[in-house]
Amino acid sequence: MIAKRYKAAKLLLAVDCIIIGYDEDDGLKVLITKRGFEPHKGSLSLMGGFVQEDESVEDAAARILHDLTGLEGVYMEQMHVFSKPDRDSEERTVVVAFFALIDIKKYQNQMSTGYQSKWFPINNYPELIFDHGEMVEMAKERVQYRAAQHPLLLELLPGKFTIPQVMRLYEVLYNVKFDLGNFSRKIISTGLIIKLNERDKANSKKGAYYYKVDEKKYQEGFRRFLNFVNKPQFKTKN
Amino acid sequence: MIAKRYKAAKLLLAVDCIIIGYDEDDGLKVLITKRGFEPHKGSLSLMGGFVQEDESVEDAAARILHDLTGLEGVYMEQMHVFSKPDRDSEERTVVVAFFALIDIKKYQNQMSTGYQSKWFPINNYPELIFDHGEMVEMAKERVQYRAAQHPLLLELLPGKFTIPQVMRLYEVLYNVKFDLGNFSRKIISTGLIIKLNERDKANSKKGAYYYKVDEKKYQEGFRRFLNFVNKPQFKTKN
């Protein structure tokens, strides 16, 4: 056994998972659960728990999400560390908040009803314990920022989609209303989507054309600002 | 005193600061120090230390940077949590890595020589303990990514600048060489800079024109992808 030479106070490290789901018919939602341990057992909170000795924070987040929802294989990313000394009323606990943006329908079958977690509208969720409300608000900003960076949010759109579908996604993300004519003109003028020779007739008699992303232009467009730097070679050490 | 009800293993939480400095004449550098405590005392490492009971991780990062370099008022942001169970050979320690990108000259006077820290070229720094090399590489990617998002890296350019100055910044960031004629054409074509009626004659007989950022276009340009969403009102709860 190695002698422990570090002399510093230890603390509890936890993870909380902010799972934002998009439901085409029903908007953006956040997954909330009932806290399963004292104090405040039964209060509404994000899904969270303590990091164990033999796991990374990523391991802990995946384990906790699975334990509390049955969900597996959800891609989560580190969002922010919340560490005010008094953020948890019980005992000092530093939290690494994880964030995921998922298509609710894709995971619907995995989430069985035996769990205590539930989706709430992101603009109308109940009060949460500690600073969990602050975490949800930060995640919401993250989604909006991401939409500004990656305008088509590929993770949330099917391979082919109609313009009304994209518009609904943006309306939900930014909590605004668009005019379909204006929105269509503007999104088409980005040059990032390709019209397919096929219509969705489920939602209107005339039908809305399907589009797909022009992957090549999309990638280029994302780097548009950098286009005066011609394919820089990222030379890194190692 | 509150009864402690949480039953979970505590661990050590530390912060490490990756301070990337830009020196117009000398490129990108990273601030390295000598570890001041056992084990591995004297090894080269990033500036770091343990988070104390009464401070947030931000407080800890500012305190440590000041203690080890004399630097004050450096804006640092959370970069990433490093938490592999065996990342520190001595005892389990989770690290919150902080990142800053600064203009070395602006801070030159603050950094007195009484401290053990030293700037090293970012593409040629010595071996560091634990996973600190990985942290530096991630910070380097962060700088490159940021340059792609905010092409003029305002924090590193003076209020007025010449195109050769911007080119040097990009050459250093991406570790490539540009042709001045091509680079000029391309950066001018972004429409993001305004030519001033004034030349820098210090570096050539003919002199290079000074430019300044077109702040309005720059802001718009950054949101260019979003321009089919007309000034969305970010309505948030709370």
Return the domain boundaries, chain B: 12-147, 152-220
Regarding pTM above 0.80, the answer is: no
Highest mean pLDDT among A4-13, A16-25, A194-203, B56-65: B56-65
Set of chain B residues whose Cβ sits within 8 Å of the Cβ of A236: 137, 140-141
Question: pLDDT tens for residues A103-131?
Answer: 887 777 777 667 788 999 998 999 999 99
Highest mean pLDDT among A115-119, B70-74, B126-130: B126-130
Kindly determine whether residue A56 and residue B83, on different chains, have CB atoms separated by under 8 Å: yes
Residue B148, pLDDT score = 65
Question: pLDDT tens for residues A146-199?
Answer: 776 666 666 677 778 899 888 888 787 777 788 899 888 888 887 788 999 998
Nearest to A148 by CA among B54, B55, B15, B232: B232
Residue B92, pLDDT score = 94
The pLDDT confidence band at residue A236, using thresholds 50, 70 and 90, is very low
Q: Are strands B93-103 and B12-23 parallel, antiparallel or unpaired?
A: parallel
pLDDT greater than 50 at residue B228: no
CATH number of the domain at A12-147, please? 3.90.79.10
Question: pLDDT tens for residues B205-216?
Answer: 788 999 998 877
Q: How far is B175 from chain A (nearest CA, A)?
A: 6
Nearest to A10 by CA among B61, B95, B50: B50
Kindly determine whether residue A228 and residue B187, on different chains, have CB atoms separated by under 8 Å: yes
Q: What percent of chain A has pLDDT over 70?
A: 84
CATH number of the domain at A152-220, please? 1.10.10.10
Asked whether the beta carbons of B62 and B47 are under 8 A apart, the reply is: no
Task: Tell me if chain A has a CB within 8 Å of the CB of B113.
Answer: no
Task: Tell me if chain A has a CB within 8 Å of the CB of B175.
Answer: yes
